[in-house]
Structure 1
Amino acid sequence: MYGGTVIDHFGINCADWERSKAFYDKVLGVLGYTRQMDFGVAIGYGTDGHPDFWIADMSTGAAAGPNREVHIAFAAKDAESVQAFFRTALALGVEPLHEPRLWPEYHENYYGAFVRDPDGNNVEAVFHGGLGVA
């Protein structure tokens, strides 16, 4: 849930998927972080069911190819803020990736919107309280 922090989570793409998984499993493990979600081509690390840091296999799916975009998600205080983020970004002429909606594949109250920033990065606003307020 929104805790007054600007960054909710972020992710990077990895060229050597197997080596990267082994590396992050071990180095984050000694810091007390574990795999919280694993989609096969993307793994989220964190604690208590909340993945804060993601790695993605850049040889498959949306991460495939030479573009090494960064994904960063900014914490929003409510669903209306997610919608305002999306409208504002579009007014600035950036590419929409995903309109504001619930993403139950992440969790039942995950409400987010995604755009591509002027440099090609995947930027998201997310609220963890569904369509209601915190």
Structure 2
Amino acid sequence: MEFGPVIGYGVDRPTFWIGQQSTGDGFRESHIAFTATDRQFVDAFFAAAIGAGAEVLHEPRVWPEYHPDYYGAFVRDPDGNNVEAVCHQSC
């Protein structure tokens, strides 16, 4: 599945995404997304990540531009990578 400048691979829906380097000279940011079984897991991931000092990129919320049930949270890890937890199920 192509979504703008990134490509997602998986069965039924993408579970692994890759995109081009887009920031800094020589910086190689990765976007790593983990599939969550429910929205509470996404919230717990986010709380644990910010509790450990991760930079907040996007607090947990529904992202209807991806699909109606896409619930995700995004943080930046110590290496500068975008790490996401996402649930594809409705409430």
Specify the TM-score bucket, using the shorter chain as the normaliser.
Answer: 0.7 to 0.9
Match for residue 84 of structure 1?
44
Identity %: 59
User: Which of 32, 40, 43 is 2:7 aligned to?
Assistant: 43
Distance 1:64 1:120, change over 3 A: closer
Bigger radius of gyration: 1
Offset at residue 55 of structure 1 (A): 2.8
User: Which of 19, 30, 51 is 1:56 aligned to?
Assistant: 19
Match for residue 61 of structure 2?
101
Query: 1:126, 1:38 → 2: CA distance?
Result: 16
Provide the secondary structure at the position in 2 that maps to 1:104: coil
Offset at residue 128 of structure 1 (A): 0.7
TM, length-normalised to structure 2 = 0.83
Query: 1:80, 1:38 → 2: CA distance?
Result: 26
Query: 2:36, 2:87 → 1: CA distance?
Result: 5
More helix by share: 1
Q: Does 1:112 align with 2:76?
A: no
Alpha carbons 2:57, 2:76 under 8 Å: kept: yes
Q: Does 1:124 align with 2:84?
A: yes
| 1:7-37 deviations in Å (ceiling 9; x for gaps) | xxxxxxxxxxxxxxxxxxxxxxxxxxxxx23
Alpha carbons 1:74, 1:126 under 8 Å: kept: yes
TM, length-normalised to structure 1 = 0.59
Alpha carbons 2:23, 2:29 under 8 Å: kept: no
Residues 13-32 of structure 1: pairs in structure 2 closer than 5 A: none
Q: Flag as ranges the 4+ runs of structure 1 deviating above 6 A.
A: none
Provide the secondary structure at the position in 1 that maps to 2:53: coil
Unpaired segments of 5 or more residues in structure 1? 1-35
